Amino acid sequence: MAEDILQQPTEYGSDSIRTLEWNEHIRLRPGMYIGKLGDGSHADDGIYVLLKEVIDNTIDEFTMGYGKQVIVEIEDGHVSVRDFGRGIPLDKVVDASSKMNTGAKYDSKTFKKSVGLNGVGIKAVNALSTEFTIQSFRDGTSKKVTYSCGVITSESGLEPTEQENGTWVSFRPDASLFVDYAYRDEFVVALLKNYTYLNTGLTFVYNGVRYTSKNGLVDLLNEKMTSTPLYPLIHLKGDDIEVVITHNDQYGEEFYSFVNGQHTILGGTHLSAFREAVPRTIKEFFSKNFEYTDIRNGMVAAISIKIEEPTFESQTKTKLGSRDMGPDGPTINKFVNDFIKKELDNYLHRNSETKDILLKKIQDSERERKAIAGVSKVARERAKKANMHNRKLQDCRIHYNDPKGDLRDDTCIFITEGDSASGSIGKSRNADTQAIFSLRGKPLNSYGQTREVVYENEEFNLLQAALNIEEGIEGLRYNKVIIATDADDDGMHIRLLVLTFLLQFFPDLIKKGHVYILETPLFRVRDKKETRYCYTDQERIDAIRYFGENAEITRFKGLGEISPDEFKEFIGEDIRLSPVNLRKEDSVKELLEFYMGKNTMERQNFIIENLIVDDEDL
């Protein structure tokens, strides 16, 4: 057979060459334009990118001084966005929405510091939507065009209107691409709030609720922080730059970065410059030989800059690649460093109370680091040797994108309990991108402990080494850290202990959206022809009704009881993950103190008072 194939090569002639229409290419390769597709269960899923691409155009109008309100409505998967900017020139509505590389943003005089520069975003929304309508209102006249998957279905002429100037876009994402999708309010609201923080004076009205910000990045940090700041937020503003800085009593670092109103989740050149400039300035201010890591420990900060013709490393604009502020401007590194060096130094000279609190925080971090230096050195060596030839870590083959070296989106590590669970996952996993770390029994309750426990406790030391986060999460080797424990009491307890460890020492790992809980079925219900896996009691009841008397019911008591062949279905493309999130109201210190502290009676009373008894148990 192999010889026959070799003897019959595939024909390669002129018929093999195809030219795709603009919308065909977007639909064939949507990942090039919006990243992953998804169903809306994660904040970076494609349906939110579609929404963002439309809103980015309204932000550009606001930035140029037009339109202080944007109305967003989402119902049953249908989206509409109305701005009150200048409106698209009426003779260019079709071109702007359906001709690639067509737009006003190539002219820097019209859109000096725009987010969208490639004339692609709105076309991607058009091509990936079964219903797409765009209407421009301009000086008493309007034009409306309707599409389906990028193909015009109707086009109006120029018609009189009493509507205010601006643009209205409505779309319904293609359900054949975004399977079972649904917009989640928490992700939409977070997106809109970020826009308001970066554009003070702009108001979003989302399904009737107004969102606006008076204090910019100060409001953002107050919204994001889950621990009380040690000193009042340092708020510095200049031409094309705004920063906010503070510290809290948590470990790690927490940074938020933006370019031209765009949330650069993966940072880039501006964030790198900021992370260097702040500790350098503080070190020089105190004239002490502080380590940068001691200065940044517990730091929470945000930076926003505006530059001309920004270059991002992908169409989704999550990482800035530009080196310069503009064609004739300084480098971003020099611009950020000069601003921080002047303004932060002046602030510290004027605010002695903040200076004293900051100094104490840095010294405390330095003292703790030195106290564990000896034990950590020994522990690091132990972890390196152990990870080289121990069965606790079954690593994956691929961690980073080539050639840039960014962490691959599909890399993950399962934190499991016991050999049976890790064995089942080990035989089912994709060894290229899925790793396994096997815990031995219940981990230590790390609440109230210092960083020393991370090195003295073998489980935590090896886990920290496996994740490569000792120096911060920038070295993280897996995009998703997935806690995979049994759904019984012991499994839930182990899950809680692992979460306590991460909350205590690496809260930024959770805040950056890297931590998940693996959902596995509780029951298998089947007959001779069909099998259904049930994740809840209600699903079990529905399955029994479906199969009737022939139903065979299996209760999975632990992950080790699920065969490797079955496990492939649960950790493959259809993997069910629950993200671990932190909200402002989730004060980490109080949260851990209540659930993991020594207040046993208080917790017992809470359980009794909130106990829900099923009627069937009575």
- Which residues does 78 contact at the CB level (< 8 Å), separation at least 6? 131, 170, 171, 172
H-only helix segments in 512-596 = 537-547, 564-570, 588-596
- Residue 399: Cβ-neighbour burial (10 angstroms; 0-12, 13-18, 19+): middle
Q: What is the DSSP string of 193-254?
A: HHHHHHSTT-EEEETTEEE--SSTHHHHHHHH-SS--SS--EEEEETTEEEEEEE-SSSS-E
Q: Where in the chain is the domain with CATH 3.30.565.10?
A: 23-211
Peptide bond into 403 cis (omega under 30): yes
CATH topology of domain 374-520+558-616: Rossmann fold (3.40.50)
Burial class (CB in 10 A: 0-12, 13-18, 19+), 33: buried
Q: d(Cα 48, Cα 44) in Å, to the nearest integer?
A: 7
Which CATH architecture fits 23-211? Answer: 2-Layer Sandwich (3.30)
Q: What is the mean pLDDT of residues 277-287?
A: 96
Span 438-483, pLDDT tens digits: 888 788 888 878 787 777 788 888 888 899 988 788 889 999 999 9
Q: Across all residues in the chain, what is the average pLDDT? A: 84
pLDDT by residue (tens digit) across 501-523? 998 888 889 888 899 999 888 89
3 state DSSP class of 118: coil
pTM (2 d.p.): 0.77
CATH 3.30.230.10 location in the chain: 217-371
Write out pLDDT tens, residues 230-243: 999 999 999 999 99
The Cα 459–Cα 441 span in angstroms is 10
Beta strands 141-148 and 262-263 are unpaired
Q: Are 257 and 301 in contact (CB under 8 A)?
A: no
- Fold of domain 217-371: Ribosomal Protein S5; domain 2 (3.30.230)
**312 residue type, one letter:** F
Residue 350, pLDDT above cutoff 90: yes
Any idea what DSSP says for residue 549? G
CA-wise closest residue to 515 among 552, 550, 555, 483: 483
Confidence tier at 103 by pLDDT (50, 70, 90): low
Task: Tell me the two tokens of residue 198.
Answer: 């970066």
How far is the CA of 299 from the CAs of 6, 241, 261, 292, 344, in angstroms? Answer: 62, 19, 22, 11, 14
Q: Where are the beta strands (DSSP E) in 418-504?
A: 434-439, 480-484
Residue where the block lists tokens 């490393």: 313
Token couple for 269: 């050149």
Contact assessment for residue 197 and residue 218, using Cβ atoms and an 8 Å cutoff: no
Q: Please name the residue that has the structure tokens 């406790």.
A: 457
- The single-letter DSSP state of residue 408 is P
Start and end residues for every CATH 3.40.50.670 domain found in the chain: 374-520+558-616
Sign of CA dihedral 558, 560, 564, 570: positive
| Cβ contacts of 312 within 8 Å, gap of 6 or more | 259, 262, 264, 268, 318, 319, 320, 321
**Model pLDDT for residues 3-56, shown as the tens digit of each residue:** 444 455 566 666 666 667 778 888 888 888 888 888 898 888 899 999 999 998
pLDDT at 388: 47
Contacts of 509 (CB under 8 A, 6+ apart): 252, 469, 473, 476, 481, 502, 515
